[in-house]
Amino acid sequence: MTIEDEARTAYAAYVDTRKKIEAGEVPWSSLENFFTDDVTFIDPAWGRVEGIDEARVFWDESMVGLEGWSFPEAWTMVDGNRVVTMWWQVMGTRDDGTEIRVPGISILYYAGDGKFCYEHDIMNMSHVMEAVTESGWAPSGEFNMPPAEPVRDSSLPATRVGITDDDV
């Protein structure tokens, strides 16, 4: 099995878990099974999160109140250890039945053994806010705001030897 095949297989399992999360079957922190202990996760609103313990907390806290949103995949490409995927953030449906959605891109770096050491999610936050306004969305109960000044460093984990920022 090539590294690309391994990365595709790991990412397909990751997406299957996300579907279970969206269905309310498991918590967002279930994503921990797909990441290394030294993971770096970069969110467009929350910024840089380092380490699996911080990521686990981030996944659960950042998604509170966003129940009902979904994140279906549109396409995925794999090049060596890199996985690049385009997905939709779906926030509701218009009166005509079309989805209110915003495109997102994720760049992941596969570290082996079914795990990724890096994910960088990219979205145009102006488009997100326009979609939120159009949908009339309001949090379902609790909601946690992103930090006022998130860390915007998108470099790879410092603990990863032999890869550089050019690899992402």
Q: pLDDT confidence of 64, banded at 50, 70, 90?
A: confident
Domain ranges of the chain: 3-140
Cβ–Cβ under 8 Å, residues 124 and 101? no
Cβ–Cβ under 8 Å, residues 50 and 40? yes
Please indicate whether residue 151 or residue 160 has the higher confidence score (pLDDT).
151
Q: Tens digits of per-residue pLDDT, 92-150?
A: 999 999 999 999 999 999 999 999 999 999 999 999 999 999 998 887 778 888 889 99
pTM of structure: 0.91
Alpha carbons 80 and 70: distance in angstroms, whole number: 28
DSSP class of residue 81? T
Alpha carbons 168 and 152: distance in angstroms, whole number: 15
Cβ–Cβ under 8 Å, residues 117 and 107? no
Phi-psi region of 3 (alpha: psi -120 to 50; beta: other; left: phi over 0): alpha
Q: Which CATH class is domain 3-140?
A: alpha beta
